[in-house]
Amino acid sequence: MNQKTWQILNIILSIIIAAIGIVITARIFDKHNLAFLNSWALMHGTFLIIYPLYAATTYYLMNFLLERFIAIPEFDRKEKKLSKVAVLSLLLSSIGMLIPFLGIGGIIAGHSSRSQCKKLPNLRGSGLALFGLILGYFSVAFHGYIIVAVWYASTISR
């Protein structure tokens, strides 16, 4: 198998393991009646925040395991550094789903990281930054919609 096949396998395994991790976590928290991460909360918005974090963590863990412990001769062993700005973009955008307009910082960091990844060939994280951008734009649009809806509802009730 070549490197691209291993990367696709890594992505598929990461998605499956992250989903299993969320289900197990939800069951444990439901059993102990913890409100934030129970299955009701996961199905009503928290899922959009927790799943990307689980999936990204699982992806990098699986990538580490594939590169370090399985002898794959096709892997390019050049050390590429992960852009810290890309990780910051994903984190700010994910937290921006809860805290209004924090996604703007994720958008700025995402665009900065994507341009850095294009300029420097030894830097990886462009896809992570893209995911941060998507989440950031979604969170800003969502919070903007909520603010407009609350404003509109308050003007009607007068």
Average pLDDT, integer, range 19-24:
74
Share of the chain above pLDDT 90, in %: 14
Q: Provide the pLDDT confidence category of residue 110 given band limits of 50, 70 and 90.
A: very high
Mean pLDDT of the chain: 78
Q: Which residues, at least 6 apart from 54, have a Cβ–Cβ distance to it below 8 Å?
A: 18, 21, 22
pLDDT of 155 strictly over 80: yes
* Higher local confidence (pLDDT), 115 or 15: 115
Contacts 24+ apart (CB under 8 A), 142-146: 142/97, 143/96, 143/100, 143/101, 143/103, 146/100
Query: Pick the residue with more confidence: 143 or 51?
Result: 143
Radius of gyration of the chain, Cα coordinates, nearest whole angstrom:
19
- pTM recorded for the entire structure: 0.55
CA–centroid distance for 150 within its chain? 28
State residue 79's pLDDT score. 72
- Give the C-alpha separation, 138 to 143, whole Å: 9
